[in-house]
Amino acid sequence: MITAELQKGWAKSLLEAAGSAPAPWLEELRSSAGALIDGLPLVNRKQEAWRYTNVEPLLKESFQPVVERPSGYPGEVPEAITPHRLVFVDGWFMPELSDTALLPEEVTCGSLNDAIAAGDERVKNRLGSVADPGEHLFTALNTALVNDGLFLHLPAGVKLESPVELFWLNSGGETPLLAQPRNLVILEPGAEAVLVEHHLPGEGERYLHNGLTEIVLDPGAKLDHYRVQDESEQAWHFSRIVLDQGSDSRYHGITLAFGGHLARTEYNGLFTAEGAHCTLRGLYTVGDDQLQDFHLDVRHDVPHCSSREQFKGLLYGKGRAVFDGRILVAKDAQKSDAELTNDNLLLTRNAEVDTKPQLEIYADDVKASHGTTVGQLEANQVFYLRARGIDEQKAVHMLCEGFAAEIIEHIHLETLREQALARLRQTLGNL
Amino acid sequence: MLTIKNLHVNVDGKEILRGLDLEIGTGEVHAIMGPNGSGKSTLSYVLAGRDGYEVTEGEVIFAGKNLLEMEPEERAWAGIFLAMQYPVELPGVNNMSFLRESVNAVRRARGEEELDAIAFMKLVRERAELVKLPEKLLKRSVNAGFSGGEKKRNEILQMALLEPKLTILDEIDSGLDIDALRTVAEGVNALRSPERSFLMITHYQRLLDYIEPDHIHVLAHGRIVRSGGKELALELEEKGYGWILEEEAAA
């Protein structure tokens, strides 16, 4: 059972190891978030948002926050698909492993900590303005321990030709480490970028990644954001992505979640002006000893915005998944257009998904729909392939790939699409 | 090529085929006709190896082997092809990749070399033209959103690629207009050869105008009740199935 004592005690031990902040204003931000923790609800089954996701074993584990930039990285850094490569180890930006030389001069792309230490006003003005630290224990913890992460800023009208690619790696060691990246992405009016994130074990096996990303899209800005979560099978992974979308901005996000022991991805989208569009897509696979959790919360507060949410899950063994997708259309948000689907393919009897699409609509002139399916492979589809000479195992793989393809095909980077397919095949090969 | 002896088959505990005998020689084209519910589709699925069909008695020998002991894919490797009445849609599974996977799986099993992408492309284009399947349908998901005629053409394309020894055409004419039927029939006729056999299953005489069989059988109550040449089809066309069923009942 998660008691107040357990939750507070766990957080307290982490906060004690926080280390010093690179600027006084950050110290304030940190301590105000830290002060929230004692008053936050317990992350237990009584809360709808945590009803199917048991974090008790996590709260009984002790982690060591990484409060300084690691001196190096013992492992190999995977190959990048673009010239703009940023490597983070235990949540810290590693300049010597990264390459941002080919980015246009007017673009800021690198360490959040460095930007704060250098007195960057843009960070001071926006950090913490998009994401509510009091959302739950893990967002408060992230804010109370802000150290490093990505700071990406594109001035008005700048359009990056190549994607910016991030590698999140872990250094491992005896004590399980806590990586706490905090990311801030600001695209000024009309700016365009593609961001690719790879969450990988690196040298780590047992660790906690607790990331929080704030994204500000000014009017007309466009961001394609691909995330591949392929953490170690013993790892805990939390990611929360919070969007602040100005008029006519466009966000296109895809998360592919393959790894982790317990992984939770949260999207929180807010439209602040008319004409904005947000697409969220996701593919998750879960097997034995795995839980993938997706929580979406998209708010249409103003008229004439559209959102699409499409998530698909492939479950096998004793794998478990949770999907909670909420779209809220406020009273004045007329002409909103929202569509949410979640489809799950259960390959075994013991796999389980708890899925809950929610549309809350207070306006009267909107287009909104949602649909959820939980099913198994259809015997007649398998038979059809076998009758064409394809053996049963291959037939199952092809059908699973076909199911997943409806997400993967939306990746507009060919190399990444191929990587995703290869990764999916690796999972299917273990069925 | 195919010998069926005294075949009894249950579906959901109910006996559908009740002692069916049939002999198809190499290079022959046979047609099985019969009223609805006579067991026509059951026969085609039993031959292709679909689950849910319990053989309680009898045997099926194909090219010297016991067909009933083989998995569906093994039957395909051995040269059996079932063109289905309702081809299954496979969302997300690219048609071209599927066709290549199928052709190469069968080639592997037969000890032939797999076709590389270029060689396969050439082959599939050539055969697609034969069955007049628009090339754009090769890039789509298998049968997903295809019209009835397009699905049947895709079936015949698969047949043309796999070059089976025995093709079973299960109501290939259902839901087709005359033009589509003609195209599908041309595809089948192009593949007719002294080495290949066909078993057409149909409700209507119409198909037999386009694909001329050597032998016609009437299936009723789970057995072949009458066999004959082309003239039997004309008689059925004229008098329907009633008279055969009556004669059968009288006997």
pLDDT, tens digit, 9 for 90 and up, residues B29-51: 999 998 888 899 999 999 999 99
- What Cα–Cα distance (Å) separates residue A258 from each residue in A286, A293, A314, A393, A405? 7, 12, 10, 20, 15
Is residue A19 scored above 80 in pLDDT? yes
The helix (run of H) or strand (run of E) holding residue A382 is helix A379-386
Report residue A399 as tokens: 């059908």
Q: What are phi and psi of B195, to 5 degrees?
A: -95, -15
* Distance, CA of A427 to chain centre: 20
Mean pLDDT of the region A37-58? 94
Cβ distance of B162 and A388 shorter than 8 Å: yes
Contacts of B94 in chain A (CB under 8 A): 405
CA–CA separation, A408 and B92 (whole Å): 10
Give tens-digit pLDDT for A352-398.
999 999 999 999 999 999 999 999 999 999 999 999 999 999 999 99
Find which of A386, A397, A407 to mutate to test the B interface (most B CBs within 10 Å of its CB).
A386
* The pLDDT value given to residue B187: 87
Cβ distance of B101 and A394 shorter than 8 Å: yes
3-state secondary structure A17-78: CCCCCCCHHHHHHHHHHHHHHHHCCCCCCCCHHHCCCCCHHHHCCCCEECCCCCCCCCCCCC
Contacts of A281 in chain B (CB under 8 A): none
User: How far is the alpha carbon of B204 from chain A, nearest alpha carbon, in Å?
Assistant: 25
User: How far is the alpha carbon of A406 from chain B, nearest alpha carbon, in Å?
Assistant: 6
* The pLDDT value given to residue A109: 98
Mean pLDDT of the region A169-195? 96
For chain B, give the mean pLDDT. Answer: 92
Contacts of A390 in chain B (CB under 8 A): 73, 101-102, 105
Residue by residue, DSSP assigns A333-353 as -TT-EEEEEEEEEE-STT-EE
3-state secondary structure chain B: CEEEEEEEEEECCEEEEEEEEEEECCCCEEEEECCCCCCHHHHHHHHHCCCCCEEEEEEEEECCEEHHHCCHHHHHHHCEEEECCCCCCEEEEEHHHHHHHHHHHHHHHCCCCCCCHHHHHHHHHHHHHHCCCCHHHHCCEECCCCCHHHHHHHHHHHHHHHCCCEEEEECCCCCCCHHHHHHHHHHHHHHCCCCCEEEEEECCCHHHHHCCCCEEEEEECCEEEEEECHHHHHHHHHHCCHHHHHHHHHC
- What Cα–Cα distance (Å) separates residue A41 from each residue in A20, A50, B55? 27, 11, 62
Q: Domain map of chain B by residue range?
A: 2-250
Question: Who's near B210: CB < 8 A, 6+ residues apart?
Answer: B181, B182, B185, B189
Contacts of B75 in chain A (CB under 8 A): 387
The domain B2-250 having CATH identifier 3.40.50.300: the answer here is yes
Is residue B244 scored above 80 in pLDDT? no
Report residue A409 as tokens: 């095909």
**Identity of the residue numbered A317:** G
- What Cα–Cα distance (Å) separates residue A154 from each residue in A57, A93, A148, A160, A242? 41, 19, 19, 9, 18
Residue by residue, DSSP assigns A203-266 as T-SSEEEEEEEEEEE-TT-EEEEEEEE---TT-EEEEEEEEEE-TT-EEEEEEEE---SEEEEE
Cβ distance of A401 and B90 shorter than 8 Å: no
Give tens-digit pLDDT for B59-106.
999 999 999 999 999 999 999 999 999 999 999 999 999 999 999 999
Cβ distance of B50 and A387 shorter than 8 Å: yes
Cβ distance of B101 and A404 shorter than 8 Å: no
Of the partner residues A388, A394, A402, the one whose CB lies closest to the CB of residue B141 = A402
CA–CA separation, A54 and A38 (whole Å): 20
- CA B131, B136, B142, B143 dihedral sign is negative
pLDDT band at residue B176, thresholds of 50, 70 and 90?
Answer: confident
Residue of B nearest to A392 (CA): B73
* The pLDDT value given to residue B251: 64
CA–CA separation, A311 and A372 (whole Å): 10
Of the partner residues B50, B90, B105, the one whose CB lies closest to the CB of residue A399 = B90
The 3-state DSSP class for residue A381 equals helix
Of the partner residues A378, A381, A386, the one whose CB lies closest to the CB of residue B72 = A386
pLDDT band at residue B230, thresholds of 50, 70 and 90?
Answer: confident
User: How far is the alpha carbon of B164 from chain A, nearest alpha carbon, in Å?
Assistant: 10
Give tens-digit pLDDT for B195-214.
999 999 988 888 898 999 99
User: How far is the alpha carbon of B249 from chain A, nearest alpha carbon, in Å?
Assistant: 36
The contact set of A with B (CB < 8 A) is 378-381, 383-392, 394, 398-399, 401-406
Contacts of A389 in chain B (CB under 8 A): 73, 76-77, 102, 105-106, 109, 162
- Across the A:B interface, residue pairs with CB atoms under 8 Å apart total 77
* The pLDDT value given to residue A424: 97
CA–CA separation, A369 and A327 (whole Å): 10
Find which of B89, B90, B107, B124 to mutate to test the A interface (most A CBs within 10 Å of its CB).
B90
Find which of A377, A378, A388 to mutate to test the B interface (most B CBs within 10 Å of its CB).
A388
What's A7's DSSP letter?
H
Report residue A221 as tokens: 């800005």
Of the partner residues A381, A390, A404, the one whose CB lies closest to the CB of residue B105 = A390
Of the partner residues A390, A398, A402, the one whose CB lies closest to the CB of residue B73 = A390
Cβ distance of A390 and B162 shorter than 8 Å: no
CA–CA separation, A131 and A134 (whole Å): 9
Q: Are A332 and A364 in contact, with CB atoms under 8 Å apart? A: no
Residue of B nearest to A384 (CA): B88
* The pLDDT value given to residue B246: 77
| pLDDT-above-70 percentage for chain A | 100
Give tens-digit pLDDT for A256-291.
999 999 999 999 999 999 999 999 999 999 999 999
Give tens-digit pLDDT for A223-258.
999 999 999 999 999 999 999 999 999 999 999 999
Contacts of B98 in chain A (CB under 8 A): 385, 388, 398
- What Cα–Cα distance (Å) separates residue B122 from each residue in A204, B140, B150, B151, B172? 48, 18, 20, 21, 26
Q: Are A258 and A228 in contact, with CB atoms under 8 Å apart? A: yes
User: How far is the alpha carbon of A400 from chain B, nearest alpha carbon, in Å?
Assistant: 9
Is residue B248 scored above 80 in pLDDT? no
Of the partner residues B81, B88, B92, the one whose CB lies closest to the CB of residue A384 = B88
Residue of A nearest to B78 (CA): A389
Contacts of A388 in chain B (CB under 8 A): 76, 98, 102, 105-106, 158, 162
* The pLDDT value given to residue A89: 98
Q: Are A82 and A196 in contact, with CB atoms under 8 Å apart? A: yes
Cβ distance of B76 and A385 shorter than 8 Å: no
CA–CA separation, B102 and B96 (whole Å): 10
Q: Which residues of A211-220 are buried (b: 16+ CB within 10 A; e: fewer)?
A: bbbbbbbbbb
Contacts of B51 in chain A (CB under 8 A): 379, 383
What's the longest Cα–Cα distance across chain A?
70
CA–CA separation, A69 and A93 (whole Å): 7
CA–CA separation, A141 and A213 (whole Å): 14
